[in-house]
Amino acid sequence: MPELPEVESVRRGLVEADLRAPVESIYRSRKRLRYSSSPRALVGARPGALDRRGKYIIWSFHGERGEGSGDGERLGLLLHLGMSGRCGVAAADKPRVPHTHLILTFADGRELRFVDPRRFGGFEVAPLDELYARPPIANLGPEPLDPGFSGELLAARVGASKRAIRDALLDQHAVAGIGNIYALEALFEAGLHPLVEASRLRPSAWERLAEALQQVLRRGIDNGGTTLKDFRNVVGAVGRNQDDLRVYGRAGEPCPTCGRALKGFVSGGRSGVYCPYDQSRRRVR
């Protein structure tokens, strides 16, 4: 499932594609997505700034009547990749792949194509201010790569939780953009047991964890994201971060630090992995 680094890689790819021509036409499949709204309002609109919050891309569009007509004309396209969603930019004459659910055709002959075989992703078109002011965006926790992010902030969000720290980190209200891969990698880097109760962690552990989260997320972005199966960037290329994962998906293999066998577990219905030696359950500071 795409997490912050994968979504950020897509956002950067869209920025690089530098789409500026207005939307000429829209195709929407008849298939139900996890959520969607009518994209019709985007016809005639010009693409603008690309933002990201957590695992969401927020693309602003200027309405047909152009600048000077007030904030009401600023539209937003919210994109969520779900489990298997892809956003690609292609020439309009390139054949469509199966499971293409949304296409914006721009006046310069290029297209944005949203492809999602499992249809857990989706999109929404609404006035930009509205998209920011309501869920899911309004409910997201802090951005872990923002300058103000810290262990103190993380502790304030989830420090009272009785849940296992790995599970608490997956809650998008606690911190935005973290999924299983980067949670497990960060806990390994911070030397914290993934099943330790969040409320037991001391301030020094929260600081280490906040730094580890930033480190693994930055590495993920630098590597163009992690591709385990489905993830592709906007030009259809796989990420490289899967080669740099230290523990994720490696239960039973030797720990990259101490060489002892990494151990798998399941909590909250999700699998995980840790090093029993480097991530002692007793370590809370």
Chain contacts with Zn ion (rule: CB under 5 A): 255, 257-258, 275, 277-278
CA distance 222 to 267: 30
- Establish whether 111 is a catalytic residue: no
- Establish whether 55 is a catalytic residue: yes
What's the closest the beta carbon of residue 187 comes to Zn ion, in angstroms? 12
Residue 44 vs 276, nearer CB to Zn ion:
276
Is the backbone peptide bond immediately before 47 cis, with ω within 30 degrees of 0? Answer: no
What's the closest the beta carbon of residue 192 comes to Zn ion, in angstroms? 13
Residue 174 vs 247, nearer CB to Zn ion:
247
CA distance 228 to 238: 9
> 123 by DSSP, 3-state: which?
strand
What's the closest the beta carbon of residue 215 comes to Zn ion, in angstroms? 18
What's the closest the beta carbon of residue 145 comes to Zn ion, in angstroms? 27
Asked if 128 and 76 touch (Cβ cutoff 8 Å), the reply is yes
Q: Which of 12, 270, 281, 283 is catalytic?
A: 270
- Establish whether 3 is a catalytic residue: yes
- With CA atoms as reference, report the closest residue to 169 among 191, 141, 202, 150: 141
Q: Which of 11, 53, 55, 157 is catalytic?
A: 55
Q: How many residues does the chain have?
A: 285
Angle at 178 between CA 169 and CA 247, to 5 degrees: 85
- Cβ-closest residue to Zn ion? 255
Residue 48 vs 256, nearer CB to Zn ion:
256
Would you state the structure tokens that stand for residue 260, as one six-digit string?
């002892």
- Establish whether 229 is a catalytic residue: no
- Residues belonging to the active site: 2-3, 55, 270
